[in-house]
Chain A
C-alpha cells in the first residue's frame, strides 16, 4: 500500500534563545515491510545537519540553529510503500544484537497482572509465537480493559503530560481527546506493558515508533507498537493496542528500548512535547 504522510510539528523554544540543537528521529528506512519512495524534512538548519545511524540502527539528524525563532517549525512529508508481512520483520543484516533488548528500563517495568499469567508458560522454540500472541491479548485486556484500565491509563497519561523533563514524547496524541468515548491509554502504555513483560520472561522486545494509516479504535496517526524476538523468524511486530500484528497500514520510523529512546524530536533548550500542527497519514493512489 502507498501511504502519504504529512506531519508538521512546532517546537516552542521561547524567545531570546542563542542556540537551538535538535536530535530528530523522523526518518523511516526501507526494510522488509516498507520502501521509502520519498521523504523530506524542512526546518531551519536542516541543510547543514549531520545525519548518522544511532545506537539502535535508526537514521538520526543533528540539527542546529543560531538565534532561532521562538517557535521552530518542522515540516515532514513523504511517501512510503508498505508490504504486509504479518508482522514478520526477520533478521535484517547488521541489526543490533537482539539480546540488547532484554535490558530493563524505567518505562518498561513489568506489570504484575500481566507477567503472573506467563511466568511458567513455555516460551522457547515453537511455543514462543503463541506466547507472544497471548501476551498481546493480555496486554490489551489489562491496559485497555474497563476494570483495570482507569488507574493504569491515568498514571500513564499523567506522566506524559507533567514530565516536561522527560524529553518530548511522540505520543502526546492530541487527537485522542477528540474521540467521543473516554480516551484510551496512549499506544505507548500498551507497548511498554508488552515490552516489560516480554523482558521479564527473557524475551528480547523493542519499542517501535511510527505512523498508522486509517487510524481507528482510539489509536492515533502517531502510533507505537512493539517487536519481539523469535529465534526462528527473527523480529516479529505486535500491535498490543489494536490487538493484531502490524499490517501495511503501519509505517515504521524508529526502534529503541522504550519511548524515551525513540522520541521523534529532542531539543536543547528542553521543551515539552512538540505540538503536532498538522498530521495526515493517508492512503495514496
Chain B
C-alpha cells in the first residue's frame, strides 16, 4: 500500500481541481502574495490569546506548546460526509451494543464470535461493571473516531476512541479562527456549522441523567486538574455548555448521592463528564492511592444515583486487540456489513504473522495495544535501523502487547508551509455524541503532519490541525 501515490483531496490525477475545492482554488488565486503569511501570523497570535496549549509528555522542553494551525481548510462534500457519517453511526451503535452485552450476558462470547479470553482476561475489561444498566443502555457517550482516507471512497477507521477522546475544543476553535480570519470564504461556501457541539453535548448528558432525577439535571465536568495536558479543553467545554468544572475534591458522596461544594451549600450532581481515567475515578473501588477521584463515586453510580460519561470499562471496546473484531461485532449486533473498513492488522502472537512482521518492519506500523497519542509506536518507513531493532526485541518479548498494520498512504490536503502551498498527509477525527440519539458534528478535527512526507499527525509528534468543512447541499 505504501507504494501507491497518496490520494490528493484537492487535485485529480490529471491535475484538475476536485469539485469540493473549486471555490477554494479560486480564492487562493485571488490572494495577494503576502496574504497567506499574514493570515498565518494572525492565526498564531489569535490562538496564543485564546491560550490553547497542550503539554507534551516526555519532551525535554516540557512546556506548554501551541498546536500549529494551518489556515487552509480541509473540505468534504455533502455526499462524502453522508456516507462517512452513516458508517460512523453504525460503528458507535454496534460498539455500545457490544459493551452492553459483554457486561451482561456475553452472548457474543458464547457464540464464539469474539474470543472469550481476549475480553475477560483483558486489563481493559472492568468486572465491576458487570450487570450495571446505564441510562438508555449507553456506555460510550462521547466518541472521537480516528479515520484516514486513502482514496475517493476509501475510508479506514484507525481507532474508535471510546474512553475520553480529546481535541474537540480544537475543532471548535479552528472554526472560530477561520470565521475571523477569512469571513468572506464563508459567504462563498455553505459550510455546515459546528458551533452547536457544546449545546448538543449538554442535551446528550441531560438525556442520560439517572432515572431518579427530579427537575433539570445538574451537569459537571470532572478534570484531573491544571497539570493535565487537556486541562484547557476541560475548562473550555465546561464553560461552553454552562456546566461547572470540578476537581475530585470539589465533589463528595453522601447518603449515596454525589454533591458539589458550592458557596451556597452542597448541590446534587446528576451527570459527570469525567476526564479522569477509570483507575483514578474512585479510591474506594479502584486505585486506593488516587487523589484525583471521589471516594464512593462508583458505588453511587452503581446505585443509579449519578451517570458517568463515559462509563468505566469502555476501554475494552476500543482496545487495539479487540479492534480487529469490530466488523464481526457490527454483524453480530446489527446484522449489517461494516460500512467503514478496518485497517488489516497482524497478530504477533500468531507465528506466521509475527515472522512476516519481523521481516517487513521497515514498511509496517507497530503500535502498543494500550498505547495512545502516538507514543510507543514505530512507523516503519520513517524508522532507523536501531529503532527497528528495538521493536524487534519488544515484539519478541511480548508479542501480545503489539499490533502491526501496513503503512497506509494517508490522503493529502493542500497545506500552507514555509515554501508556499504543498500537500501534507492528514487524518480525521469526527466527534460523536450518543444519548437519546446518535449525533455527529459535521467534520471534526483534521490533523496534519506538517513535515514533508511524514505520516504521524499526532500533535505530540509535530502535527498541526486544520479547520474541517463539510459542505451543505
Say if A and B assemble together. Answer: yes
Chain A's nearest CB lies how many Å from the CB of B403? Answer: 22
Please give the distance in Å from B326's CB to the nearest CB on chain A: 21
Considering the complex, which residues of chain A in the window 86-115 have a beta carbon less than 8 Å from any beta carbon of chain B? Answer: 96-97, 99-100, 102-104
Within 8 A of A (CB), among B258-293: 283-285, 288-289
A104 touches B121 (CB 8 A): yes
Residues of A within 8 A of B302 (CB): 52-55, 60
Q: Does A119 contact B (CB under 8 A)?
A: no
Give the secondary structure class of B's interface: loop
Contact check, A49 vs B105: say whether CB atoms are below 8 A apart: no
Contact of A102 (CB < 8 Å), options: B121, B252, B296, B305: B121
Q: Which residues of B contact A49 (CB under 8 A)?
A: 255-256
In the bound complex, residues from chain A placing their C-beta under 8 Å from that of B283 are 268, 270
Q: Are B254 and A19 in contact (CB under 8 A)?
A: yes
- Check B303 against A51 for contact (C-beta < 8 Å): yes
> Which B294-351 residues sit within 8 Å CB-CB of chain A?
295-296, 299-300, 302-305
Q: A99 touching B129 by the CB < 8 A rule? A: no
Contact of A55 with B300 at beta-carbon distance under 8 Å, contacts A97-B105, A99-B106, A266-B284 already known: no
Using A50-B255, A99-B120 as known contacts, say yes or no to A56 and B127 having CB atoms under 8 A apart.
yes
Instruction: Indicate whether B80 reaches chain A with its CB closer than 8 angstroms.
Output: no
Q: Is A165 an interface residue (CB 8 A)?
A: yes
Q: How far is the CA of A23 from the CA of B125 in the complex (A)?
A: 22
Known contacts: A167-B288, A266-B284. The answer to whether A99 contacts B116 by CB under 8 A is yes
- B131 within 8 A of partner (CB): yes
- The residue in chain B whose Cβ has the minimal distance to the Cβ of A51 is B303
**In the bound complex, what is the Cα–Cα distance between A103 and B122 (angstroms)?**
8
- On chain A, the residues within 8 Å of B132 by CB distance are 55
Select B130's contact among A66, A96, A102, A104, beta carbons within 8 Å: A96
Interface status of A261 (Cβ within 8 A of chain B):
yes
A21, CB-defined interface residue at 8 Å: yes
- Decide if B284 touches A23 in the complex (CB within 8 Å): yes
Q: Does B359 contact A (CB under 8 A)?
A: no
The reply to whether the CB of B390 lies closer than 8 angstroms to some CB of chain A is no
Q: Is the CB of B303 within 8 A of A50?
A: yes
Q: What is the CA–CA distance of A19 and B110 in the complex, to the nearest angstrom?
A: 44
Residue B97, interface by CB 8 Å: no
In the complex, what residues of B have CB within 8 A of residue A96's CB? 130-131
Q: Which residues of A contact B285 (CB under 8 A)?
A: 23, 266
Q: How far is the CB of B153 from chain A (nearest CB, A)?
A: 40
B285: min CB distance to chain A, Å: 7
**Which residues of A sit under 8 angstroms from B284, Cβ to Cβ?**
21-23, 266-268
Which A residues touch B109, using CB under 8 A? 97, 99
A145 an interface residue at 8 Å Cβ cutoff?
no
Residues on A with C-beta less than 8 A from B131 are 53, 55, 57, 96
Asked whether A102 lies within 8 Å of B120 as measured between CB atoms, the reply is: yes
Task: Choose among B117, B252, B299 the residue that contacts A62 (Cβ–Cβ < 8 A).
Answer: B299
B248 to chain A, nearest CB (A): 11
Least CB separation from A270: chain B residue: B288
- A270 / chain B contacts, CB cutoff of 8 Å: 283, 288
The 6 closest A-B CB pairs, nearest first, are: A50-B256, A268-B295, A62-B299, A55-B130, A50-B303, A48-B255
A-contacting residues of B (Cβ < 8 Å)? 105-106, 109-110, 116-117, 120-121, 125, 127-132, 252-257, 283-285, 288-289, 295-296, 299-300, 302-305
Residues in A lying within 8 Å of B, measured CB to CB: 19, 21-23, 45, 48-57, 60, 62, 64, 66, 96-97, 99-100, 102-104, 165, 167, 257, 261, 266-268, 270
Other than the known A96-B130, A97-B109, A266-B285, what 10 A-B pairs have Cβ atoms closer than 8 Å?
Answer: A23-B299, A50-B257, A53-B131, A54-B128, A55-B128, A60-B299, A60-B302, A64-B255, A64-B256, A100-B120
